C-alpha cells in the first residue's frame, strides 16, 4: 500500500514544485482525518497543492473564498421556500463534500467561524431544525495569509485547537523557483489523475493505525506536552512567564495518531523520537498561548517548542 503514497506525491508533483513538508502535512491530515491549517504569504501554491491532492484522491472537493461579508448559509446551505410544493427545501452548501478548502479563513467573521466549528468537531451540519451527518472522509484544509492587516479576524482559540496541524509554508529554493518559472512560461501543466480509491484510502488508514509505537515513545509525547504546561519541572523556569496556557489535551490525542502517519510516510512500521521532533512544531505552535510579555519580547511558540524539545530527555 505504501506505493499508493508515492503515487499520490507523484501526481501532486505534476503541478507543485518542492513544498515537501506541506505535502506531508496534508497527507497526515488525510490518513488521520485531521483538519490542517496552512499559513504562508501569497504565491506559495497553498491552494494549488490542496486542489492537486483532492484530484489525486478522486474525492469530492469544494473551495470557499472567505470574505468579511460571508454568511454561515453561504457555507452550510439554507432552507429555500418552493412555491410549487408550498414547502421549504434544504439547499446544501459547499460544506457537503469530502475535502473543503477554506481559503483565507481568517477573513470571515465570528458567525461563520462558529458554524464551521460544529462541522469540524462533530462532522455534522445543522440547517434549520435538521441535522446532517457528513459522509467520511471529511476534512478541512484552511489557508491564511500572515501579512494581511486589514479585513482579517483572529481565529478563536477553540477553533485553532480543532486543527490537527498548522503548517508554516516558506519560499521555495532558487532551483525550485527557476523550475516553477519555466513551467509557467512554457505552459507545462499535466493532468492530475486519481490514483487511489476510497477503499484504498481506508486501507492506508488501517496501515497507519497498525504502525507500532513503543510505550517509552508514548510517554515521551506526554512529557513534551506537559512541559508546555509545567516548564519549571523540566528546568525551564524562565519559560513560566512566557506561557499563558500550555498545549491542550487534543495535542496528545492528535500526536499519537500523527506520528504514526509520519513514520508510515517515511516507509517505517514503527515510530521513533525523530518522527515526533519532525512534526512537534506543526502540532503545537497554534495551541500554545503566549503572555503579553513574551509577545512584547518577540518570543514565538516555535522557539518555546524548540526549548522544550531540548529539555525533555529523549527515550
Give the Cα separation of 247 and 283 in Å (integer). Answer: 9
Question: Same domain, yes or no, for 127 and 29?
Answer: yes
Specify the pLDDT at position 226: 92
Question: Same domain, yes or no, for 117 and 222?
Answer: no
Give the Cα separation of 206 and 180 in Å (integer). Answer: 36
Question: Same domain, yes or no, for 193 and 235?
Answer: no
Which domain, by its residues, includes 100? 2-199
Please indicate whether residue 36 or residue 82 has the higher confidence score (pLDDT): 36
Mean pLDDT of the region 9-27: 86
Specify the pLDDT at position 254: 92
Q: What is the CATH number of the domain that holds 294?
A: 1.10.8.80
Question: Same domain, yes or no, for 187 and 222?
Answer: no
Closest CA to 19 of 61, 64, 57, 50: 50
Question: Same domain, yes or no, for 44 and 182?
Answer: yes
Q: Which of 173, 199, 225 is the last residue of a domain?
A: 199
Q: Which of 147, 172, 199 is the last residue of a domain?
A: 199
Give the Cα separation of 3 and 53 in Å (integer). Answer: 16
Question: Model's pTM, two decimal places?
Answer: 0.87
Specify the pLDDT at position 36: 92
Indicate whether 115 pLDDT > 90: no
Give the Cα separation of 49 and 58 in Å (integer). Answer: 14
Question: Same domain, yes or no, for 241 and 307?
Answer: yes
Q: How confident is the model at residue 148 (pLDDT cuts 50, 70, 90)?
A: low
Q: Is 205 part of a structural domain of the chain?
A: no
Q: What is the CATH number of the domain that holds 181?
A: 3.40.50.300
Average pLDDT of the chain, as a whole number: 86
Question: Same domain, yes or no, for 165 and 92?
Answer: yes
Please indicate whether residue 81 or residue 273 has the higher confidence score (pLDDT): 273
Q: Which of 178, 199, 220 is the last residue of a domain?
A: 199
Amino acid at each position: 500500500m505504501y506505493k499508493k503514497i508515492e503515487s499520490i506525491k507523484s501526481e501532486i508533483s505534476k503541478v507543485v514544485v518542492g513544498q515537501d513538508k506541506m505535502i506531508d502535512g496534508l497527507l497526515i491530515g488525510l490518513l488521520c482525518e485531521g483538519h490542517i491549517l496552512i499559513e504562508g504569504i501569497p504565491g506559495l501554491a497553498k491552494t494549488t497543492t490542496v486542489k492537486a491532492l483532492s484530484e489525486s484522491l478522486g474525492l469530492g472537493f469544494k473551495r470557499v473564498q472567505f470574505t468579511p461579508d460571508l454568511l454561515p448559509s453561504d457555507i452550510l446551505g439554507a432552507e429555500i421556500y418552493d412555491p410549487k410544493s408550498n414547502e421549504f427545501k434544504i439547499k446544501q452548501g459547499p460544506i457537503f463534500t469530502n475535502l473543503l478548502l477554506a481559503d483565507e479563513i481568517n477573513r470571515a467573521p465570528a458567525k461563520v467561524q462558529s458554524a464551521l466549528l460544529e462541522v469540524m468537531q462533530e462532522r455534522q451540519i445543522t440547517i434549520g431544525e435538521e441535522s446532517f451527518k457528513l459522509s467520511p472522509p471529511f476534512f478541512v484544509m484552511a489557508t491564511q495569509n500572515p501579512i494581511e492587516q486589514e479585513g482579517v479576524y483572529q481565529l478563536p482559540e477553540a477553533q485553532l485547537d480543532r486543527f490537527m496541524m498548522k503548517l508554516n509554508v516558506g519560499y521555495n529554493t532558487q532551483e525550485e523557483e527557476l523550475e516553477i518559472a519555466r513551467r509557467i512560461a512554457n505552459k507545462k501543466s499535466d493532468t492530475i489523475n486519481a490514483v487511489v480509491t476510497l477503499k484504498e484510502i481506508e486501507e492506508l488508514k488501517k496501515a497507519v493505525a497498525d504502525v507500532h509505537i513503543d510505550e517509552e515513545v508514548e510517554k515521551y509525547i506526554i512529557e513534551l506536552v506537559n512541559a508546555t504546561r509545567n516548564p519549571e519541572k523540566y528546568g525551564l523556569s524562565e519559560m513560566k512567564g512566557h506561557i499563558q496556557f500550555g498545549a491542550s489535551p487534543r495535542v496528545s490525542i492528535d500526536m499519537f495518531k500523527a506520528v504514526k502517519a509520519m513514520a508510515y510516510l517515511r516507509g517505517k512500521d514503527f515510530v521513533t523520537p525523530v518522527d515526533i521532533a519532525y512534526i512537534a512544531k506543526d502540532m503545537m505552535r497554534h495551541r500554545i498561548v503566549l503572555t503579553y510579555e513574551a509577545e512584547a519580547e518577540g518570543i514565538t511558540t516555535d522557539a518555546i517548542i524548540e526549548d522544550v524539545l531540548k529539555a525533555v530527555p529523549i527515550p
